[in-house]
Amino acid sequence: MEMRLTIIYEQMGDLVQTTVAELPGAISLGKTREEARANLSEAIEMVLEGNRLLAEDTATGEREEVEFHAA
């Protein structure tokens, strides 16, 4: 399964901030666009893990884990 996400780049002083339009809270910084984008992978993982933990506390239905890879 392929997932396509929209990365938004914004200049914040001397740093570049990246956010993911489809995943509020996934934010990273870097000295360059490339560095900020590379740091974004960890931010995406953290947001997804946080959302999973929230779902464990509230969801009562049957669960299935799937694996996917994002570029």
Per-residue pLDDT of 2-46, as tens digits, reads 778 899 999 999 999 999 999 999 999 999 999 999 999 899 999
pTM for the full predicted model? 0.72
Lookup result for tokens 């997804």: 48
Residue type (1 letter), 57: D
Would 69 be classed as within a structural domain?
no
Would 66 be classed as within a structural domain?
no
Lookup result for tokens 């740091």: 39
Would 2 be classed as within a structural domain?
no
User: In terms of Cα–Cα distance, which of 55, 28, 56 is closest to 7?
Assistant: 28
Q: Where are the beta strands (DSSP E) in the chain?
A: 7-12, 15-20, 27-30
Would 68 be classed as within a structural domain?
no
Could you tell me the residue range of the domain that residue 43 belongs to? 7-58
**3-class DSSP assignment, residue 12:** strand
At 8, list the tokens. Answer: 């938004």
Would 21 be classed as within a structural domain?
yes
Q: How many domains does the chain have?
A: 1
C-alpha angle with apex 70: 10 to 68, nearest 5 degrees? 145
